[in-house]
Amino acid sequence: MENVLEIEGLSKSLGDFRLHEVSFALPRGYVMGFIGPNGAGKTTTIKLVMNLMRRDSGEIRVFGLDNRRYEKEIKQRIGFVYDESHFYGELSILDNRRIAASFYRDWDEKVFQQRLRDFDLPAHKKVKDLSRGMRTKFGLALALSHGADFLIMDEPTSGLDPVFRSELMDILRQLMMEENKSVLFSTHITTDLERVADYICFINQGRIVLCQSKDEILQGHVLVKGALDLLTPEAERLFIGLRKNQYGFEGLSADPRRVRQVLGDRVLAELPSLDDIMIYNVRGHQSV
Amino acid sequence: MNIVISNRSDEPIYNQIYQQLRAAIVREELAAGEPLPSIRSLARDLQVSVITTKRAYDELERDGYIETVAGKGSFVAPQNAELLREKRVNLIEEKLVTVIHEARTLGLSLPELQRIVELLYEEVL
């Protein structure tokens, strides 16, 4: 399978923060959700992919090409949506579009006009008067109007309401009808990803914790609830993270089969959400 | 054809798709040679990921229910009548396994279960 993005051993120190030897790949034609708590290294990784920051070490290839050597070619084929305000607030949508369009060889005005209609964007309104959701949609309209094959979005849904977020997911699903499109999408709101993402990459404190297909990740974990007296030291070791209170415990395990052998039907075993997986990995063992 | 996906079920989503498409094929709601929706459009409509849908199609193909022609898509594979009957019997067996599990947890004995089946078999038209 051909990869649209390959990252190998990527490291970067920024003050107290360090990105440690990050490696992962995204096959062409799929959506990858890049998740982790705030400050985990998502934006740093994306900035390094976009070559907006200097790395300490490591390799990044986009469309199989080194992202520094072939930066210009690569960026013609990437649609990039990032957190807010890279627009000129005093200018209208159309004037902002004129500036952005001038950077792209394959700018397609017809497609852009169609996106404006699809996304209900007011062409003559000043960007500073747009709501946050509209600005994100405008960013997406720009990113999707120059024939990009790879869409990279940094936290496109943060601060947006559920209705807008579901609209954005519909746009992504429509985009993925084309086999050669790929999406890398960072977020800390994992519910957005539970349905649309093919792959999930989970980063915490600058290190990749998990990077697999979403189905493998969800089925490879189990959320267990039960009475406290079942938690022998042997049982406790099954869990990545545990929460206990006087009425019982809840914990996440990455070994559903062992959980079944050791605890059987004395506990309630549920399919975890991506949030559960993220929270228990980050918080680990603690009593509440 | 209806496909209903539960996100909260223990049953993996690819398997829910597999089971429902297979049932439609075995019940001949989908006839041999009939085209299936493309993986990407089914994924979009069911609001699931492409990889999940692809896995369901891969397994349907592996088990001989569908055929994929490069560049053209997937089609219902011709089913041999005898085999089809066998597969439908298999579907019934799978359902019975669930019933047996339930019966065991309730402590029903085999004769008791058989009695229920006999009564219902006569009653249900």
Average pLDDT for A178-187: 92
With bands split at pLDDT 50, 70 and 90, how would you rate the model's confidence at A286? low
User: B114 falls in which pLDDT band (50, 70, 90)?
Assistant: very high
End-to-end CA distance of chain A: 45
Residue A287 has pLDDT above 70, yes or no: no
Whole-number average pLDDT of chain A: 91
Q: From CA B28, how far away is CA B25, in angstroms rounded?
A: 5
Across A47-56, A129-138, A187-196, least confident range: A187-196
% chain A with pLDDT above 70: 97
Higher pLDDT pick, A165 / A48: A48
The ranges assigned to domains in chain A are: 3-216, 220-287
Chain B residues contacting A, CB < 8 Å? Answer: 7-10, 12-14, 40-41, 43-44, 47-52, 55
Does the pLDDT value for residue A152 go beyond 60?
A: yes
Token output for A169: 């997911």
A176 touches chain B (CB under 8 A): yes
Could you please state the CATH topology (level 3) that the domain comprising A3-216 is classified under.
Rossmann fold (3.40.50)
Q: What is the pLDDT of residues B13-66, one digit of tens each?
A: 999 999 999 989 988 888 889 999 999 999 999 989 999 999 999 999 999 999
pLDDT at A288: 46
Q: Chain A: give the shortest CA distance to residue B44, in Å.
A: 5
Q: How does pLDDT run across A19-37, given as a tens digit for each residue?
A: 999 999 999 999 999 999 9
Q: Name the residue among B40, B44, B49 with its Cβ closest to that of A179.
A: B40
Please check whether residue A156 is in contact with residue A133, taking contact to mean a CB–CB distance below 8 angstroms.
Answer: no
ipTM (interface predicted TM) = 0.75
C-beta atoms of B49 and A198 within 8 A: yes
Under CATH, to which class is B13-76 assigned? mainly alpha
Contact A124, A93 (CB under 8 A): yes
Q: Model's pTM, two decimal places? A: 0.84
Residue A50 phi/psi, 5-degree rounding, is -80, 0
Residues in chain A closer than 8 A to B12 (CB atoms): 215, 219
CA distance A70 to chain B (A): 30
